[in-house]
C-alpha cells in the first residue's frame, strides 16, 4: 500500500470482499480456470475450492473470461484549451472508461508555458482526486525547455511518481521543441530513468501547409487533414527515433495514426531501437475520409492530431501491427469537445479544438477488430490493452495482471455480446461519436475496480473521487534493462596518438561552426581511465594496444604498404558503434556482391 | 573561347561505342569539338589525325557532378585549384566537372557566382558548370536565385542541413526554398546531416576528451545522415520539388533514398568516390595526418561493408549519379584542427579515381554492365543538369568529349603518382582495374600514352537550363493532379463556445476567412450516418482528390494480408 498517495477515502473500500467463481483467467501469458478472491481492493487468493469468509459477495463467471482491467495510457480529461475545457471531465471520462472495461487511466498534464510543471501537476492532481472514479496516473508534457524545467522533472520523478514526459514536435511557436531541445530533454529523461513520449508531427511543415491551404480558400475540416499529410507524421517519428538512439533514451510514440509512421516504428524496432508505438481507438477503428463529410459538425468531430489517415486501409494495417508486436500499447487519446466548442473553428480549421472520443470503445473495438478477426488471441489482447502499458510505465504486476497481490481491477468479458456504438447511448457528454453506427462484438459483463463491482447488468455504480493516484517508479525494467546494457557498451574513447608536430596553416579565427566549449581541450592521451571495454572479443586487443608505448614518430611517413596490409591493421575497427542488422539480414539486393 | 579548338579534326577508328542504352562498333569523326559523323567507312577530309581504338570501348567522357576546386577556407584555399583539379579529372577520364559556388552567409549569390566563374574561366582545362549553394535565405536571395536560373545558367542549388549557426537552414527555410525551386524549375540539392544533433554530439565528444579525427565520425553517426535525408525527402515531397542528395555516405542514408524512390518520390542520390571506395575505419589510424585526410562530412562510414552496398545500389538504379566531392587540403591545413577535430577542414580527393574505381568495384565484379557504368558516371548527370544529349552521349551533334577505355589496365593508386597536390590519397595502395587509354576533350586529345596535354583556361562554362525533363516530367504531371479543393458545405449556424483568441499554433492570418460557397442552411446536427454501413456523402469521392496513395511495388509486407 505504500505506493498510494495518502488518500483519506481508502478506508471506504477496506471492507469489500468479493469472490469470482468459475472464471477463465486470462493473463498475457496464459489462460486457466480458477476462482478469484479479493479483499481490500487486492487479489488475495487464486485457485480452486478457496476457503473464504462467509457472507462474501459471489459472482458466477460460468466459464467466461476474466481479464485484468484495461489501462488507457492516454487520456486528456478536463483539458483546458484557450479558456475552454474538454467536455468530459475526470468524472464523466472515468465513468466512460469503466463502462468500457478500463479500470485505470493515465492522463496528460499540459502545463501552459510559463506555469511550470509542478504547478500544473498539482492542479491536475486536485482535479482528478476530486472527480476520478478509477485509479489514475499522470504523464507530464514538456511544453517549454529551460533549467527550471529540468529541476522540476527531477522532483516529479523522485518525489511524485511520474516516469513519463511528453514532448511536442508540432504546434509551432506554442508547444514545439527544437531538435537541440529534444536532444537535451531526452538526455535528462534517460538520466532520470523515465520514458520520453513524443507527439510526432513536423510542426514547421504543418505551419507552412496550413498557410497554403488557407490561401487556397480551404477552411473546413478537410483542411486539417490536407495540411497534415501522413509523411509529416512519419518524418517526425523518424527524427524522434534518431534522437532517442543518439541519447540512448527509451522512446514512446503517442498516437500512431498512419501506416507510414507505424512502418517507421516497426523498422526502427527491427534495427534494435527501444521504441514503443501507441495506436489509439480512433486510428484502430476509423479513418479520415469523414473530414470530407458535408455535415460540418460531423467532420469537425474527427479532428485530432496527427489526423486520422485518409487511407481507409489504415485501421486494418495498424491492427495487424498491433497483433504482431510491432506496436505494443493502446490508448484512446480521449479528448472530447462539444459541437459548439468545435465551432470556434467554423471559419478556420486551424482553430478547431482537437481530440476524439475512444476511452469507452477501446476494448470492444480491439476485441472486434483483432480477436474476432483472428489477428490475435485473448492473451495478446490483454497485453495490448493492459499488461504492456503496466510494464512500460512500471506498474506491473500491481496492474495489468491477475495474480495474488495485484490490485483487484478485473473485467468479466463476454466475447459474444454485440453492440452498436452510438452517441445516443454512450457515457459521454458530447453530441458526436466517431464510431457512430459501428457494430462491435465483445464487451464487459462485469467490471471490478478496486475490488468493488462498478458495472453489473449494464448499470454503472461509480463513486466520484474514489480513484487513487498511482505512483510510478523510475527505471522500469521492461524498458531500461536494454538501455542500461547499452549505456555500458557505448563508452567512447579517443585514439592515443603522438602529438602532431608538423606544420600548421595560419588561419583566420574560426568562422567555422562549433560549440563554444570546443577550444581548450587537451589531447586524448590522458583518457586511459575512461576507456572502458566495449565488447568482449575486443578486450584483449585493446589492452594490448593501450599498454603500448607511444613514441614520437614521423607522422608524414605513410602507413600504407602496397600489399594491402597496413600499419594500423591491428586496431579494432570501430569499437564503440553498434552495428545492428535487422533480423533475417538485409534485403537481398545486397547479396549481389 | 572556342577559337583554339576550331581547326581540330579527329577520327577514332574501330572503337566500340558505349552509350547508356547500347554498345555498337563504329568510327567517330569530330570537328570543332563536336561529333560530326558516326558509322562505318566514313568520308572524312584528308590528313585527319586518326586514333586506332582496336575494338576498345569508346565512352562519353565522365561528368564529375560534385567538386570543390579552389574552395576558399578561412583565408586559405584548397590545394587543388581549377587547373590542378580539372587536370586530375581529365587524367581519370572525366571531361566535365560541376563545381559548387559557396557564398559566405549574408553575401550575394551572384557575386560569388561571378567570382567562381572567373576562377574557372582562367584555369579550368575542361568544360564546367556550377551549382550554387544557398547559405542564407531572404527575399534578396530569392531574387538572385531567380536571376541565376533565368540568366546565368544555373539550375541546381544546394542547401545545408548541417553546420549549425552557419550554413544550416531551418525546416521552414527548406520548405520555402523547395517551393521556390519547384516553381522555377530548379533542382534542390541537400547536404543531409542533422546539424543540431551534431553540435550536441560534438560538444559531448570534446567534453569526453576525444579531440582526434575519430571524434569527427563519432559525433556524426550515420543515423544523423539518414534522418536528414528522410526529412529532406518529406519536405521535397510536400512541395513537389525534385530532390538531389549530395554525398550519400552510409547504408542507412542510401536505404532511405531507395525506399522513397519505391514510394514514388522524385529523389536522386549521389554517392561519391570516397564512399564507394573506402570506409571510415581509417579515422582510428594512429597516424594523425592520415586519419585527418579522411575527414569529410557526412563522414565515411565505419562500417566496412558500406562501399560494396553503395556500389550495389548504384548498380540497381536506387542511386543514380556519382561525384567525387573532391576537396583537398594539405596536411598543414588539416592540422588547423590538430587539437580539436571540429576544426579540421573537411574534404577528400576522388575526381581522378572516380571512373576507375567504379569500373573496378562495379563492372569487373559483375554488378553492372558497361552501359550502366556510362549512365552513372556521365549520362544521368547530364540528364539531371539538362545538358543531355550535348553531354553524356556519343552521338552526332554531341560534344566531342570521349574516353577510350582500357578495361584490362591495372594501376595502383598512390599519392606519389596522382595528379592532385595533396600529400595523402584516401585510396592509397588500392589496385584498380580499368583506366582511360585516350581522353578526348572538346575534340582534342588531352591524354595519350600516359601523357597529358592540357591547356589551362580552355574549359568553357556550360549553362544549365531549368526544368530538366529527367526530373520535371513527373513533377509537372503531379502538379496537375495535386489540386486541392474545399468541401462545399452549408454555413455552420449552431452555437459557438466562448474562447480566448490566442491561437494554438495556426497562422496569424487565420481568423478572417469565409467559407468558399454559401449553399442553403440546413440542420447540421442531423447525422449523416446510417446503421447500414459507411456514411460517405455520395457526390464526393472517398479519397480526397489531391492525395496520392502509393503502394510500394510488390505490395505491402505480408503482415497485412492476415485479415
Output the CA–CA distances (angstroms, integers) from residue B155 to B181, B465, B467, in the order listed. Answer: 9, 6, 8
What pLDDT does A15 receive? 55
Question: Cα distance from A180 to chain B (closest Cα, Å)?
Answer: 5
**CB B288: neighbour CB atoms within 10 A?**
24
**CB B227: neighbour CB atoms within 10 A?**
29
> Cβ contact (<8 Å) for A522 and B211?
yes
Please report the residues numbered 217 through 236 in chain B whose beta carbons come closer than 8 angstroms to any beta carbon of chain A: 218, 221, 223-224, 226-227, 230-231, 234-235
Q: Residue B232 has which C-alpha cell? A: 529532406
The DSSP bridge partners found for residue A42 are A39, A407
DSSP-derived secondary structure letter, A298:
H
User: What are φ and ψ of residue B199, in 5° steps?
Assistant: -60, -45
> Cβ contact (<8 Å) for A82 and B74?
no
**Above 70 in pLDDT, residue B9?**
yes
Task: Assess contact for B169 and B177: CB atoms under 8 A.
Answer: yes
**CB B347: neighbour CB atoms within 10 A?**
25
**Above 90 in pLDDT, residue B365?**
yes
At residue B486 the predicted structure's pLDDT band, cuts being 50, 70 and 90, is confident
Residue in chain A lying closest to B215 (CA): A494
pLDDT tens by residue, A428-452: 999 999 999 999 999 999 999 999 9
- Of the listed ranges A577-586, B264-273, B299-308, the one predicted with least confidence: A577-586
Check if B106 contacts A (Cβ < 8 Å): no
Q: Which residues of A touch B234 (CB under 8 A)?
A: 202, 205, 231-232, 234-235
Q: Which residues contact B353 (CB under 8 A, 6 or more apart)?
A: B92, B273, B277, B324, B413, B418, B425, B427, B432
Q: Residue B109 has which C-alpha cell? A: 549569390
Task: Assess contact for B187 and B384: CB atoms under 8 A.
Answer: yes
- Per DSSP (E only), the strands in A424-488 are 439-449, 452-456, 459-460
Quote the CA–CA distance of B65 and B320 in Å, as a whole number.
11
Only one residue has cell 479543393, namely B485
Question: Cα distance from A406 to chain B (closest Cα, Å)?
Answer: 35
**Above 70 in pLDDT, residue B554?**
no
Task: Assess contact for B458 and B4: CB atoms under 8 A.
Answer: yes
Q: What is the ipTM of this complex?
A: 0.74
Only one residue has cell 473546413, namely A220
Question: Cα distance from A204 to chain B (closest Cα, Å)?
Answer: 6
Q: Which residues of A touch B338 (CB under 8 A)?
A: 499-500, 504
Check if B367 contacts A (Cβ < 8 Å): yes
Check if B288 contacts A (Cβ < 8 Å): yes
pLDDT tens by residue, B90-102: 999 999 999 999 9
Q: Which residues contact B242 (CB under 8 A, 6 or more apart)?
A: B182, B187, B188, B236, B266, B267, B268, B471, B472, B475
> How large a percentage of chain A has pLDDT more than 90?
76
What pLDDT does B55 receive? 94
> Cβ contact (<8 Å) for A507 and B336?
yes
> Cβ contact (<8 Å) for B537 and A294?
yes
Please name which of B224, B127, B229, B143 lies closest in space to residue B188, comparing C-alpha atoms.
B229
* Mean pLDDT, residues B534-545 taken together: 45
Q: Which residues of B touch A343 (CB under 8 A)?
A: 492, 494-497
What pLDDT does A536 receive? 46
* Mean pLDDT, residues A102-108 taken together: 97
At residue A509 the predicted structure's pLDDT band, cuts being 50, 70 and 90, is low
**Above 80 in pLDDT, residue B120?**
yes
Q: Which residues of A touch B342 (CB under 8 A)?
A: 512-515, 518
**Above 80 in pLDDT, residue B239?**
yes
What pLDDT does B155 receive? 96
Task: Assess contact for A490 and A461: CB atoms under 8 A.
Answer: no
Only one residue has cell 523518424, namely A238
> Cβ contact (<8 Å) for B484 and A590?
no
Residue in chain A lying closest to B166 (CA): A513
What pLDDT does B477 receive? 86
Report residue A266 CA to chain centroid gap: 15
Best probe of the B interface among A187, A264, A502, by most B CBs < 10 A, is: A502
**Above 50 in pLDDT, residue A420?**
yes
**Most confident residue range from A392-396, A482-486, A501-505:** A392-396
Question: Cα distance from B386 to chain A (closest Cα, Å)?
Answer: 30
Judged by DSSP in three states, B367 sits in coil
**Above 80 in pLDDT, residue B1?**
no
> Cβ contact (<8 Å) for A519 and B509?
no
pLDDT tens by residue, A135-183: 999 999 999 999 999 999 999 999 999 999 999 999 999 999 999 999 9
Task: Read off the pTM.
Answer: 0.79
Judged by DSSP in three states, B452 sits in strand
Point out the residue among B412, B424, B562 whose CB comes nearest to the CB of A320. Answer: B562
> Cβ contact (<8 Å) for B202 and A514?
yes
Q: Which residues contact A530 (CB under 8 A, 6 or more apart)?
A: A491, A493, B208, B209
Q: Residue A358 has which C-alpha cell? A: 475512444
Please report the DSSP string for A308-331 in residue order.
Answer: PPS-TTHHHHHHHHHHHTSS---B
Please report the residues numbered 219 through 258 in chain A whose beta carbons come closer than 8 angstroms to any beta carbon of chain B: 219-220, 222-223, 225-226, 229, 231-232, 234-235, 238-239, 242-243, 245-246
> Cβ contact (<8 Å) for B495 and A340?
yes
Quote the CA–CA distance of A357 and A304 in Å, as a whole number.
10
At residue A473 the predicted structure's pLDDT band, cuts being 50, 70 and 90, is very high
pLDDT tens by residue, B249-291: 999 999 999 999 988 899 999 999 999 999 999 999 999 999 9
Q: Which residue has the higher pLDDT, B288 or B527?
A: B288
Please report the DSSP string for A255-297 in residue order.
Answer: EE-SHHHHHHHHHHHHTT--EEEEEBHHHHH--GGGGG-SSHH
Q: Which residue has the higher pLDDT, B552 or B498?
A: B498
**CB B417: neighbour CB atoms within 10 A?**
9
Question: Cα distance from A539 to chain B (closest Cα, Å)?
Answer: 16
Q: Which residues of A touch B488 (CB under 8 A)?
A: 294
At residue B8 the predicted structure's pLDDT band, cuts being 50, 70 and 90, is confident
Task: Assess contact for A40 and A451: CB atoms under 8 A.
Answer: yes
What pLDDT does A180 receive? 95
What pLDDT does B540 receive? 45
* Mean pLDDT, residues B31-55 taken together: 93
Check if B490 contacts A (Cβ < 8 Å): yes
**Above 50 in pLDDT, residue A7?**
no
Only one residue has cell 596553416, namely A505
pLDDT tens by residue, A206-216: 999 999 999 99
Cα-Cα-Cα-Cα dihedral of B526, B531, B532, B533, to 10°? 80
Quote the CA–CA distance of A454 and A459 in Å, as a whole number.
8
Average pLDDT score over chain A: 86
Only one residue has cell 472514479, namely A133
> How many pairs of residues across A and B have Cβ atoms under 8 Å apart?
426
**CB A509: neighbour CB atoms within 10 A?**
7
Only one residue has cell 482526486, namely A129
What pLDDT does B46 receive? 85
What pLDDT does B29 receive? 96
Please name which of B227, B86, B208 lies closest in space to residue A493, comparing C-alpha atoms.
B208
At residue B490 the predicted structure's pLDDT band, cuts being 50, 70 and 90, is confident
Residue in chain B lying closest to A562 (CA): B429
What pLDDT does A575 receive? 43
Point out the residue among A245, A298, A343 whose CB comes nearest to the CB of B494. Answer: A343
What pLDDT does A510 receive? 56
What pLDDT does B7 receive? 57
Question: Cα distance from B117 to chain A (closest Cα, Å)?
Answer: 24
Only one residue has cell 514532448, namely A167
Q: Is the dihedral of CA B547, B553, B556, B562 positive or negative?
A: positive
Report residue B385 CA to chain centroid gap: 10
For A568, counting Cβ atoms within 10 Å of its Cβ (0-12 exposed, 13-18 middle, 19+ buried), the class is middle
Question: Cα distance from B131 to chain A (closest Cα, Å)?
Answer: 21
Point out the residue among A297, A317, A563 whose CB comes nearest to the CB of B525. Answer: A297
**Above 80 in pLDDT, residue B134?**
yes
> Cβ contact (<8 Å) for A297 and B536?
no
Judged by DSSP in three states, B131 sits in strand
Task: Assess contact for A104 and A136: CB atoms under 8 A.
Answer: yes
Please report the residues numbered 256 through 295 in chain A whose beta carbons come closer than 8 angstroms to any beta carbon of chain B: 259, 289-295
Quote the CA–CA distance of A414 and A440 in Å, as a whole number.
12
Please report the residues numbered 12 through 71 in chain A whose beta carbons come closer than 8 angstroms to any beta carbon of chain B: none
Average pLDDT score over chain B: 88
Amino acid at each position: 500500500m505504500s505506493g498510494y498517495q495518502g488518500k483519506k477515502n481508502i478506508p471506504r473500500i477496506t471492507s469489500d470482499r468479493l469472490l469470482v467463481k468459475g472464471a477463465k483467467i486470462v493473463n498475457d501469458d496464459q489462460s486457466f480456470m480458477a476462482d478469484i478472491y479479493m479483499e481490500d481492493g487486492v487479489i488475495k487468493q487464486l485457485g480452486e475450492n478457496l476457503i473464504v469468509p462467509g457472507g462474501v459477495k459471489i459472482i458466477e463467471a460460468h466459464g467466461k473470461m476474466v481479464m485484468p482491467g484495461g489501462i488507457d495510457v492516454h487520456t486528456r480529461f478536463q483539458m483546458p484549451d484557450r479558456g475552454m475545457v474538454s467536455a468530459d471531465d475526470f468524472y464523466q471520462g472515468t465513468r466512460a472508461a469503466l463502462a468500457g472495461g478500463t479500470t485505470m487511466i493515465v492522463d496528460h498534464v499540459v502545463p501552459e508555458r510559463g506555469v511550470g510543471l509542478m504547478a500544473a501537476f498539482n492542479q491536475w492532481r486536485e482535479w482528478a482526486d476530486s472527480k476520478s472514479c478509477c485509479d489514475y496516473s499522470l504523464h507530464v508534457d514538456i511544453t517549454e525547455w529551460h533549467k527550471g524545467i529540468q529541476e522540476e522533472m527531477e522532483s516529479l520523478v523522485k518525489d511524485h511518481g511520474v516516469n513519463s514526459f511528453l514532448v511536442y514536435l508540432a504546434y509551432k511557436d506554442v508547444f514545439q521543441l527544437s531538435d537541440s531541445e529534444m536532444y537535451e530533454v531526452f538526455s535528462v529523461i534517460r538520466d532520470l530513468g523515465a520514458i520520453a513520449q513524443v507527439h510526432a508531427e513536423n510542426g514547421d511543415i504543418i505551419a507552412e501547409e496550413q498557410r497554403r491551404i488557407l490561401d487556397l480558400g480551404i477552411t473546413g475540416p478537410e483542411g486539417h487533414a490536407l495540411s497534415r499529410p501522413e509523411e509529416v507524421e512519419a518524418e517526425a517519428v523518424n527524427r524522434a527515433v534518431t534522437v532517442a538512439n543518439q541519447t540512448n533514451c527509451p522512446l514512446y510514440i503517442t498516437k500512431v495514426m498512419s501506416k507510414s509512421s507505424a512502418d517507421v516504428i516497426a523498422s526502427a524496432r527491427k534495427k534494435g531501437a527501444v521504441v514503443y508505438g501507441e495506436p489509439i481507438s480512433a486510428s484502430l477503428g476509423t479513418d479520415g475520409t469523414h473530414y470530407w463529410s458535408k455535415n460540418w459538425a460531423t467532420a469537425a468531430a474527427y479532428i485530432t492530431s496527427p489526423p486520422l489517415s485518409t487511407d481507409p486501409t489504415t485501421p486494418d494495417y495498424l491492427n495487424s501491427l498491433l497483433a504482431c508486436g510491432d506496436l505494443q500499447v493502446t490508448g484512446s487519446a480521449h479528448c472530447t469537445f462539444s459541437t459548439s466548442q468545435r465551432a470556434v473553428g467554423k471559419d478556420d480549421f486551424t482553430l478547431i479544438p482537437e481530440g476524439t472520443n475512444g476511452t469507452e470503445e477501446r476494448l470492444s473495438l480491439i476485441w472486434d477488430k483483432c480477436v474476432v478477426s483472428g489477428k490475435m488471441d485473448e492473451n495478446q489482447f490483454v497485453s495490448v490493452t493492459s499488461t504492456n502499458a503496466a510494464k512500460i510505465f512500471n506498474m506491473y504486476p500491481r496492474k495489468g495482471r491477475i495474480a495474488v497481490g495485484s490490485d483487484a481491477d478485473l473485467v468479466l468479458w463476454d466475447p459474444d455480446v454485440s453492440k452498436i456504438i452510438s452517441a445516443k447511448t454512450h457515457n459521454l457528454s458530447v453530441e458526436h461519436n466517431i464510431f457512430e453506427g459501428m457494430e462491435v462484438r465483445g464487451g464487459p459483463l462485469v467490471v471490478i475496480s478496486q475490488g468493488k463491482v462498478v458495472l453489473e447488468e449494464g448499470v454503472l455504480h461509480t463513486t466520484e473521487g474514489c480513484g487513487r493516484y498511482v505512483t510510478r517508479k523510475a527505471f522500469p525494467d521492461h524498458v531500461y534493462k536494454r538501455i542500461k546494457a547499452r549505456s555500458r557498451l557505448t563508452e567512447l574513447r579517443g585514439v592515443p596518438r603522438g602529438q602532431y608536430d608538423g606544420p600548421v596553416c595560419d588561419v583566420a579565427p574560426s568562422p567555422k561552426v562549433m560549440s563554444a566549449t570546443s577550444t581548450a581541450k587537451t589531447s586524448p592521451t590522458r583518457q586511459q581511465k575512461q576507456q572502458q571495454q566495449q565488447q568482449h572479443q575486443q578486450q584483449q586487443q585493446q589492452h594490448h594496444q593501450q599498454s603500448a608505448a607511444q613514441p614520437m614518430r614521423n607522422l608524414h611517413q605513410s602507413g600504407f604498404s602496397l600489399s594491402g596490409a597496413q600499419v594500423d591493421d591491428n586496431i579494432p575497427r570501430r569499437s564503440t558503434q553498434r552495428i545492428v542488422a535487422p533480423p533475417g539480414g538485409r534485403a537481398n539486393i545486397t547479396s549481389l556482391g | 573561347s572556342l577559337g583554339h579548338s576550331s581547326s581540330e579534326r579527329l577520327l577514332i577508328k574501330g572503337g566500340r561505342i558505349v552509350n547508356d542504352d547500347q554498345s555498337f562498333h563504329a568510327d567517330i569523326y569530330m570537328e570543332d569539338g563536336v561529333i560530326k559523323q558516326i558509322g562505318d567507312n566514313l568520308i572524312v577530309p584528308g590528313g585527319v589525325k586518326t586514333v586506332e581504338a582496336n575494338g576498345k570501348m569508346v565512352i562519353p567522357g565522365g561528368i564529375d557532378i560534385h567538386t570543390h576546386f579552389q574552395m576558399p577556407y578561412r583565408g586559405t584555399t584548397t590545394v587543388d585549384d581549377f587547373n590542378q583539379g580539372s587536370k586530375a579529372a581529365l587524367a581519370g577520364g572525366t571531361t566535365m566537372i560541376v563545381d559548387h559556388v559557396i557564398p559566405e552567409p549574408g553575401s550575394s549569390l551572384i557575386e560569388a557566382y561571378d567570382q567562381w566563374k572567373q576562377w574557372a574561366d582562367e584555369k579550368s582545362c575542361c568544360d564546367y558548370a556550377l551549382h550554387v549553394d544557398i547559405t542564407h535565405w531572404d527575399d534578396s536571395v530569392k531574387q538572385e536565385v531567380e536571376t541565376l536560373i533565368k540568366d546565368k545558367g544555373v539550375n541546381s542549388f544546394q542547401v545545408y542541413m548541417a553546420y549549425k549557426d552557419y550554413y544550416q537552414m531551418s525546416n521552414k527555410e527548406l520548405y520555402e526554398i523547395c517551393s521556390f525551386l519547384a516553381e522555377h524549375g530548379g533542382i534542390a540539392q541537400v547536404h543531409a546531416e542533422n546539424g543540431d544533433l551534431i553540435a550536441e554530439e560534438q560538444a559531448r565528444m570534446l567534453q569526453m576528451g576525444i579531440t582526434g579525427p575519430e571524434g569527427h565520425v563519432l559525433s556524426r553517426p550515420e543515423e544523423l545522415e539518414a534522418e536528414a535525408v528522410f526529412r529532406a525527402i518529406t519536405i521535397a515531397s510536400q512541395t513537389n520539388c525534385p530532390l538531389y542528395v549530395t554525398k550519400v555516405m552510409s547504408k542507412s542514408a542510401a536505404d532511405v533514398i531507395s525506399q522513397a524512390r519505391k514510394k514514388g518520390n522524385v529523389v536522386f542520390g549521389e554517392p561519391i568516390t570516397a564512399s564507394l571506395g573506402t570506409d571510415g575505419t581509417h579515422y582510428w589510424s594512429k597516424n594523425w595526418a592520415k586519419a585527418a585526410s579522411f575527414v569529410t562530412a557526412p563522414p565515411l562510414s565505419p562500417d566496412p561493408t558500406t562501399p560494396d552496398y553503395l556500389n550495389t545500389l548504384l548498380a540497381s538504379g536506387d542511386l543514380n549519379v556519382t561525384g567525387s566531392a573532391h576537396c583537398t587540403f594539405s596536411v598543414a591545413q588539416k592540422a588547423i584542427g590538430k587539437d580539436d577535430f571540429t576544426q579540421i577542414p573537411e574534404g577528400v580527393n576522388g575526381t581522378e579515381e572516380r571512373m576507375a574505381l567504379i569500373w573496378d568495384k562495379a563492372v569487373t565484379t559483375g554488378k553492372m554492365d558497361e552501359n550502366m557504368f556510362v549512365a552513372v558516371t556521365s549520362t544521368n548527370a547530364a540528364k539531371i543538369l539538362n545538358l543531355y544529349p550535348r553531354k553524356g552521349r556519343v552521338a552526332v551533334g554531341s560534344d566531342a568529349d570521349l574516353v577510350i577505355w582500357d578495361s584490362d589496365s591495372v594501376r595502383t593508386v598512390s599519392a606519389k603518382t596522382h595528379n592532385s597536390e595533396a600529400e595523402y590519397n584516401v585510396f592509397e595502395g588500392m589496385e584498380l582495374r580499368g583506366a582511360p587509354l585516350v581522353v578526348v576533350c572538346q575534340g582534342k586529345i588531352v591524354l595519350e600514352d600516359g601523357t597529358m596535354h592540357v591547356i589551362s583556361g580552355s574549359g568553357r562554362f556550360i549553362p544549365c537550363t531549368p526544368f530538366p525533363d529527367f526530373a520535371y516530367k513527373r513533377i509537372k504531371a503531379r502538379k496537375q493532379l495535386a489540386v486541392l479543393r474545399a468541401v462545399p458545405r452549408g454555413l455552420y449556424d449552431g452555437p459557438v463556445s466562448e474562447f480566448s483568441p490566442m491561437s494554438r499554433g495556426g497562422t496569424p492570418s487565420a481568423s478572417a476567412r469565409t467559407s468558399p460557397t454559401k449553399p442553403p442552411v440546413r440542420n447540421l446536427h442531423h447525422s449523416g450516418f446510417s446503421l447500414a454501413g459507411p456514411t460517405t456523402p455520395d457526390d464526393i469521392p472517398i479519397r480526397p482528390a489531391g492525395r496520392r496513395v502509393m503502394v510500394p511495388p510488390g505490395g505491402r509486407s505480408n503482415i497485412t494480408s492476415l485479415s
